[in-house]
């Protein structure tokens, strides 16, 4: 246990005390008690920057289940540090914002902060774990706490729906991630990420490589809301806005990106990785930005915008994996994609966080988030408007904000793909920059909608629930800080270059670094007249055109049939699964014993027959069979006749009697085959059971005594024939294959010698195998007591009544 | 109309003892010839059932005032105790032994511990059968 472990676990520890603090200090907003923790953690993590930027890493081990190789190993390197700073930094701001956002009196604050702290701790655990198993545990904890946070207003039906949906999708991904982790373990024999990376040759040459890759991709795509798993994110917007700002823009949805970046050194060598991530990322980018334009809800726009931006980062990581194929660090043109991914990761967290907070303020101060009702708020909320402009323009990729820089680099990365001389990229690689460019145009459009539809245009006071006014200062602090970061990173990206971006790239693509070398990243505004610049100009021109004419072309969204949407697919899928399982249940679980028996017998017959013939076990060997005497033949005929009578009898009485005939014939068989003890017992027992049957018959209700033959049913006949044949064939085969000498010789020789008895059957029953007899008489006792209990208990009950 | 079961009852009085003696014979002969605790017990209960048929349940339970549940339980107890007895001689559970003795009247006889076990079986079978029949018979 080191300080680092304590840091990861500290949110969990604080979460234990939050309800207590909430009860004890009702006058103080609980958030104030929570606020110092992320701040302290943030300061703690900043101390790592100087070491990490020099290429140092820190590893602290803690034993958890050492016998299984599962340890809680905390590991700090560039990537982990970047995410930790994001989590704690934005966490601080979000908690500060939530103090002013959530009412002290109306809300269940203790549960809110418990969930939020749980989430913060598990997210730190995800990004700082070196052991895949502890990473997975924290991963599922983020899903769980996010489920709790989305369903925070649990009385709303939509919250429940959104929480359930996100839970189902992310847990599905989480489980496939677990499967992927297990496959990695099978390949390398370790859960440690660093050891897996050092054994990367074993992984890439294994036949499990592709399954593991696909499973891990599934985990990352579901968590990071990639197409087609993005559908949970818009519904997660039912959560309180601080939660949306924190989880669904800055941290949790980036867990998938973190995972891919973390495992990039393992998988990036394969073409599947390159194609899957870049293409899914680009589809998500385009689809997210395209869908964001039609949203009427501000948070809906931001949700689809997040999806689209995550797709952009994904595609950059995918394209950046091409860099691994080039040995030279200098003039490796694909590295720029990785740089852009890391840079945009930071940028997106800053501007999306601030935009969510802006939307929260608008919602809080006007009572609605519907852009059709909003408008002309500029003069009421000047500060909020400024923040929205900064965030929105940065998101659209306009200078001089940081979004412009990362968007330029994004275009560079995508344009470089066309120069690729592998994966036959020359032919259709050109599609990638085009899709990216189209997506960026829509990004521009929805950013403008977000900013201008809300704050400019006509003011419609009659549609608003409250009279709008500027938000309290406390609520504005966090978005102001984030917006200033947007501007600062825009003007001075070199602040991030050596401190965060370079060490992060060293974690994502370590194989490119020679001993003692470091990445040299330089981000600059002006590249000269490059294709990227013209692409940005095109984005702006077409974006403005589209924004101006939005009334005319927005009808195409209604053209798309709603029955073909993914959401509809999800809903129908869930409903269909429920209906299907109900139907299967109802078909199989009829409640009739006859149906269950039919199933059981069919399976017994089929399984045994299949085994018999697939193993070639069927055999007929007449060598050891005795000759058939006249008496046996006669008895057999009698028995068969009695059996047929039992089956075809019209009255039950006949059936009982003929069953008795079968029993007595059996005891005659015992006589013939020289088993006097069995014959005696069989005679008496048959008598007893026949009289019991008669007793039952005597007490049957009148209408059941009608003389009706057993109804003929073909399935019953077939199954009965099947089972009969099976057992007969089995009997013949078993009799024909004698593998061992019988043990009976021992009994014959020793029953008098050792046990002092001449009746071998009895000696076996009471001496050699007395143990069985002991429990058979116990069974008898139980049966007697059960009958006694059944009859007597019923009687006493009647007496009471 | 009251039925007169004189012939049945008189025959029963004679036959019952023959059956019981046959049952005891079956029980004791079990170690050497066909028979044993199980059949012996069943035959004994057959004798008792015959009594039940000829007379009625109340009369029979007055004449033979056994609680058959206890009979079954004591049989089970006897069987287990016989098994446990082998622990005294530090041999595994249910190890039986036998030996020959010269008894007065009977002469040279073999006595075996399995008979005790078999007696347990006998008692259980009698107890169980009679419990079942009596319970069903008494129920309305």
Concatenate the DSSP letters of all residues of A504-532 into one string. HHHHHSGGGPPTT--------S---S-HH
Look at residue A720 in the predicted model and tell me its pLDDT.
93
Q: Name residues whose C-beta falls within 8 Å of residue A734's C-beta, 6 or more positions apart in sequence.
A: none
Q: Name residues whose C-beta falls within 8 Å of residue A87's C-beta, 6 or more positions apart in sequence.
A: A38, A120, A123, A124, A127, A250, A251
CB atoms within 10 A of CB A525: 12
Q: Is A772 exposed, middle or buried (0-12, 13-18, 19+ CB in 10 A)?
A: exposed
Contact A122, A252 (CB under 8 A): no
CB atoms within 10 A of CB A400: 12
SS3 A596: helix
pLDDT(A748) > 90 = no
Contact A784, B123 (CB under 8 A): no
SS3 B103: strand
Report the alpha-carbon distance of residue A494 to residue A525 in Å, rounded: 11
Look at residue A636 in the predicted model and tell me its pLDDT.
93
Identify the band that residue A396 occupies on the pLDDT scale cut at 50, 70 and 90: confident
Look at residue A562 in the predicted model and tell me its pLDDT.
67
pLDDT(A760) > 60 = yes
Distance in Å, alpha carbon of A704 to nearest chain B alpha carbon: 20
Interface membership of A780 toward B (CB under 8 Å) = yes
Q: Indicate yes or no: CB of A676 within 8 angstroms of CB of B34.
A: yes
Look at residue A331 in the predicted model and tell me its pLDDT.
60
Q: Indicate yes or no: CB of A784 within 8 angstroms of CB of B32.
A: no
Identify the band that residue B90 occupies on the pLDDT scale cut at 50, 70 and 90: confident
Look at residue A782 in the predicted model and tell me its pLDDT.
93
Tokens representing B88 are: 């005294």
Distance in Å, alpha carbon of B4 to nearest chain A alpha carbon: 24
Which residue has 């440690």 as its token pair?
Answer: A192
pLDDT(A515) > 60 = no
Look at residue A660 in the predicted model and tell me its pLDDT.
93
Look at residue B35 in the predicted model and tell me its pLDDT.
85
Q: Which residues pair with B107 in a beta bridge?
A: B103
Task: State mean pLDDT over B2-19.
Answer: 88
Task: State mean pLDDT over A374-382.
Answer: 81
| CA neighbours closer than 13 Å in the CB half-sphere of residue B124 | 28
Report the alpha-carbon distance of residue A679 to residue A670 in Å, rounded: 5
Which residue has 């990362």 as its token pair?
Answer: A406
Report the alpha-carbon distance of residue B34 to residue B22 in Å, rounded: 12
pLDDT tens string A689-747: 888 888 888 877 776 666 677 788 898 999 999 999 999 999 888 888 877 888 888 88
CB atoms within 10 A of CB A647: 12
Closest CA to A682 of B34, B137, B112: B34
Contact A752, B95 (CB under 8 A): no
Interface membership of A545 toward B (CB under 8 Å) = no
CA distances from A357 to A101, A244, A346, A361, A391 (A): 9, 9, 17, 6, 11
pLDDT(A334) > 80 = no
Look at residue A538 in the predicted model and tell me its pLDDT.
87
CB atoms within 10 A of CB A629: 10
Query: In chain A, which residues have their Cβ closer than 8 Å to the Cβ of B101?
Result: none
Ranked by mean pLDDT, which of A22-31, A138-147, A558-567 comes out on top?
A138-147
DSSP conformational letter for A629 = P
Tokens representing A187 are: 């390949």
Task: State mean pLDDT over A790-798.
Answer: 70
Contact A484, A62 (CB under 8 A): no
pLDDT(A37) > 80 = yes
Outline where DSSP puts E strands in A61-175: 63-65, 70-71, 74-76
Which residue has 């560039």 as its token pair?
Answer: A78
Helix axis angle for A255-267 and A109-128, nearest 10°, is 10
Option in A692, A695, A762 nearest B36 (CB): A762
pLDDT(A469) > 90 = no
CB burial string A415-436: b at 16+ within 10 A, e below: bbbbebeeeebeeebeebbebb
Closest CA to B135 of A783, A302, A784: A784
B-interface mutation test, from A683, A687, A752, A756, most B Cβ less than 10 A away: A756
Mean pLDDT for chain A? Answer: 85
For chains A and B, count residue pairs whose Cβ atoms are closer than 8 Å.
121
CB atoms within 10 A of CB A527: 13
pLDDT tens string A660-694: 999 999 999 999 998 888 998 899 889 888 888 88
Better-scored residue on pLDDT, A4 or A332: A4
CA distances from A513 to A329, A502, A596 (A): 7, 11, 66
Look at residue A297 in the predicted model and tell me its pLDDT.
87
Look at residue A563 in the predicted model and tell me its pLDDT.
65
B-interface mutation test, from A670, A774, A782, A791, most B Cβ less than 10 A away: A774
pLDDT(A47) > 70 = yes
pLDDT(B103) > 80 = no
Tokens representing A330 are: 């200098």
Q: Indicate yes or no: CB of B32 within 8 angstroms of CB of A795.
A: no
Report the alpha-carbon distance of residue A83 to residue A339 in Å, rounded: 15
Q: Indicate yes or no: CB of B135 within 8 angstroms of CB of A792.
A: yes
pLDDT(A598) > 70 = yes
Closest CA to A177 of A218, A209, A147, A143: A218
Concatenate the DSSP letters of all residues of A365-425 into one string. HHS--BTTT----TTT-HHHHHHHHHHHHHHHT-TTSHHHHHHHHHHHHHHHHTT--STTH
Q: Indicate the length of chain A as a whole number.
A: 801
Helix axis angle for B114-138 and A676-698, nearest 10°, is 20
First to last CA, chain A: 68
Task: State mean pLDDT over A623-641.
Answer: 88
Identify the band that residue A780 occupies on the pLDDT scale cut at 50, 70 and 90: very high
B-interface mutation test, from A673, A679, A698, A770, most B Cβ less than 10 A away: A770
pLDDT(A386) > 60 = yes
Query: In chain A, which residues have their Cβ closer than 8 Å to the Cβ of B29?
Result: 759
Peptide bond preceding A400 in cis form (omega within 30 of 0): yes
Q: Is A463 exposed, middle or buried (0-12, 13-18, 19+ CB in 10 A)?
A: middle
CA distances from A666 to A567, A638, A649 (A): 68, 10, 20
Report the alpha-carbon distance of residue A602 to residue A715 in Å, rounded: 10
Concatenate the DSSP letters of all residues of A687-739 into one string. HHHHHHHHHHHHTS-GGGGS--PPPP-HHHHHHHHHHHHHHHHHHHHHHH---
Identify the band that residue A266 occupies on the pLDDT scale cut at 50, 70 and 90: confident
Query: In chain B, which residues have their Cβ closer than 8 Å to the Cβ of A681?
Result: 38-39, 42
What is the dihedral sign for C-alpha A273, A274, A277, A280? negative
Q: Indicate yes or no: CB of A788 within 8 angstroms of CB of B135.
A: yes
Query: In chain A, which residues have their Cβ closer than 8 Å to the Cβ of B139?
Result: 791, 795
Distance in Å, alpha carbon of A705 to nearest chain B alpha carbon: 20
Report the alpha-carbon distance of residue A21 to residue A9 in Å, rounded: 19
Tokens representing A644 are: 């047929």
B→A interface, C-beta within 8 Å: 26, 29-39, 42-43, 46, 69, 72-73, 75-76, 79-80, 83, 93-94, 96, 98, 110, 112, 114, 117-118, 120-121, 124-125, 127-129, 131-132, 135-136, 139-140
Strands A58-60 and A74-76: antiparallel
Option in B43, B69, B75 nearest A777 (CB): B75
Interface membership of A6 toward B (CB under 8 Å) = no
Query: In chain B, which residues have their Cβ closer than 8 Å to the Cβ of A766?
Result: 36-37, 96, 114, 117-118, 121
Binding-face residues of A in 715-774 toward B, CB within 8 A? 755-759, 761-763, 765-767, 770-771, 773-774
Look at residue A518 in the predicted model and tell me its pLDDT.
63
pLDDT tens string A542-559: 888 888 887 777 777 777
Report the alpha-carbon distance of residue A754 to residue B83 in Å, rounded: 17
pTM: 0.80
For chain A, percent of residues with pLDDT exceeding 90: 25
Task: State mean pLDDT over B127-137.
Answer: 88
Phi, psi at residue B103, to the nearest 5°?
Answer: -95, 150
Query: In chain B, which residues have their Cβ closer than 8 Å to the Cβ of A693?
Result: none
CB burial string A229-259: b at 16+ within 10 A, e below: bbbbbbbbbbbbbbbbbbbbbbbbbbbbbbb
Look at residue A797 in the predicted model and tell me its pLDDT.
56
Identify the band that residue A525 occupies on the pLDDT scale cut at 50, 70 and 90: low
């Amino acid at each position: 246990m080191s300080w680092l472990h304590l840091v990861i676990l500290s949110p969990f520890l604080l979460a234990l005390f939050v309800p207590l603090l909430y009860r004890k200090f009702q006058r103080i907003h609980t958030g104030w008690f929570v606020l110092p923790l992320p701040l302290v953690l943030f300061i703690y993590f900043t101390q790592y920057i100087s070491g990490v930027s020099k290429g140092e890493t820190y590893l602290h081990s803690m034993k958890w289940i050492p016998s299984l190789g599962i340890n809680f190993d905390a590991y700090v390197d560039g990537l982990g540090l970047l995410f930790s700073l994001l989590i704690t930094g934005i966490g601080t701001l979000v908690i500060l914002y939530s103090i002013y956002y959530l009412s002290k009196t109306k809300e269940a604050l203790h549960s809110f902060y418990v969930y939020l702290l749980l989430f913060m701790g598990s997210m730190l655990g995800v990004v700082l774990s070196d052991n895949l198993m502890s990473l997975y545990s924290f991963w599922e904890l983020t899903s769980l706490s996010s489920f709790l946070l989305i369903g925070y207003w649990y009385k709303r039906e939509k919250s429940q729906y959104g929480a359930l949906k996100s839970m189902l999708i992310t847990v599905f991904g989480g489980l496939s991630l677990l499967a992927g982790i297990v496959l990695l373990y099978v390949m390398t024999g370790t859960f440690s990420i660093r050891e897996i990376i050092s054994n990367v040759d074993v992984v890439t040459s294994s036949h499990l490589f592709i399954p593991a890759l696909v499973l891990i991709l599934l985990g990352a795509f579901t968590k990071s809301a990639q197409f087609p798993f993005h559908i949970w994110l818009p519904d997660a917007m039912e959560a309180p806005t601080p939660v949306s700002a924190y989880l669904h823009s800055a941290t949790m949805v980036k867990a998938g990106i973190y995972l891919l970046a973390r495992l990039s050194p393992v998988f990036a060598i394969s073409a599947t990785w390159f194609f899957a991530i870049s293409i899914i990322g680009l589809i998500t980018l385009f689809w997210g930005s395209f869908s964001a334009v039609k949203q009427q809800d501000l948070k809906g726009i931001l949700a689809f915008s997040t999806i689209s931006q995550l797709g952009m980062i994904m595609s950059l990581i995918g394209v950046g994996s091409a860099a691994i194929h080039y040995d030279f660090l200098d003039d490796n043109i694909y590295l720029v994609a990785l740089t852009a991914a890391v840079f945009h990761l930071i940028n997106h967290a800053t501007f999306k966080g601030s935009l969510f907070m802006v939307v929260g303020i608008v919602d809080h101060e006007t009572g609605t988030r519907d852009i059709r009702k909003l408008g002309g708020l500029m003069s009421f909320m000047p500060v909020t408007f400024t923040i929205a402009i900064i965030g929105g323009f940065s998101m659209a990729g306009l200078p001089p904000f940081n979004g412009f820089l990362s968007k330029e680099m994004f275009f560079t990365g995508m344009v470089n793909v066309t120069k690729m001389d592998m994966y036959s990229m020359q032919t259709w690689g050109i599609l990638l920059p085009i899709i990216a460019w189209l997506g960026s145009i829509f990004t521009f459009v929805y950013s403008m909608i977000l900013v201008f539809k809300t704050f400019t245009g006509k003011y419609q006071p009659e549609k608003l629930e409250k009279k709008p006014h500027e938000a309290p200062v406390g609520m504005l602090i966090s978005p102001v800080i984030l917006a200033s970061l947007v501007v600062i990173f825009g003007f001075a990206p070199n602040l991030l270059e050596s401190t965060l971006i370079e060490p992060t790239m060293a974690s994502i693509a370590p194989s490119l670094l020679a001993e003692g070398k470091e990445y040299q990243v330089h981000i600059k505004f002006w590249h000269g007249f490059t294709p990227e610049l013209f692409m940005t100009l095109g984005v702006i021109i077409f974006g403005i055109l589209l924004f101006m004419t939005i009334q005319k072309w927005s009808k195409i969204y209604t053209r798309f049939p709603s029955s073909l949407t993914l959401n509809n697919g999800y809903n129908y899928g869930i409903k269909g699964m429920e209906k299907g399982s109900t139907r299967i249940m109802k078909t199989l679980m009829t409640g009739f014993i006859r149906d269950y028996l039919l199933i059981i017998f069919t399976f017994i017959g089929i399984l045994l027959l299949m085994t018999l013939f697939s193993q070639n076990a069927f055999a007929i060997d007449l060598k050891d069979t005795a000759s058939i005497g006249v008496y046996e033949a006669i008895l057999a005929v009698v028995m068969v006749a009695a059996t047929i009578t039992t089956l075809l009898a019209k009255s039950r009485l006949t059936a009982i009697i003929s069953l008795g005939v079968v029993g007595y014939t059996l005891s005659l068989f015992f006589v013939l085959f020289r088993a006097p003890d069995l014959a005696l017992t069989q005679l008496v027992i048959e008598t007893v059971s026949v009289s019991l049957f008669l007793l039952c018959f005597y007490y049957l209700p009148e209408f059941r005594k009608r003389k009706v033959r057993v109804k003929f049913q073909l399935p019953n006949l077939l199954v009965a024939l099947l089972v009969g044949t099976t057992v007969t064939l089995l009997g013949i085969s078993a009799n024909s294959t004698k593998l061992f000498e019988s043990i009976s010789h021992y009994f014959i020789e020793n029953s008098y010698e050792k046990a002092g008895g001449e009746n071998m059957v009895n000696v076996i029953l009471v001496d050699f195998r007395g143990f069985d007899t002991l429990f058979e008489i116990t069974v008898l006792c139980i049966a007697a007591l059960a009958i006694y209990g059944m009859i007597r208990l019923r009687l006493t009950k009647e007496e009471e009544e | 109309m009251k039925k007169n079961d004189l012939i049945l009852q008189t025959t029963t009085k004679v036959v019952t003892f023959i059956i019981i003696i046959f049952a005891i014979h079956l029980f004791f002969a079990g170690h050497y010839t066909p028979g044993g605790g199980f059949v012996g017990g069943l035959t004994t209960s057959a004798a008792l059932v015959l009594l039940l048929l000829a007379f009625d349940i109340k009369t029979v339970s007055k004449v033979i005032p056994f609680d058959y549940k206890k009979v079954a339980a004591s049989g089970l107890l006897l069987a287990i105790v016989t098994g446990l007895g082998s622990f005294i001689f530090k041999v595994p559970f249910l190890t039986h032994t036998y030996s020959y003795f010269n008894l007065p009247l009977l002469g040279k006889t073999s006595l075996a511990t399995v008979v005790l076990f078999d007696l347990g079986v006998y008692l259980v079978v009698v107890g169980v059968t009679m419990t079942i029949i009596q319970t069903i018979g008494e129920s309305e």
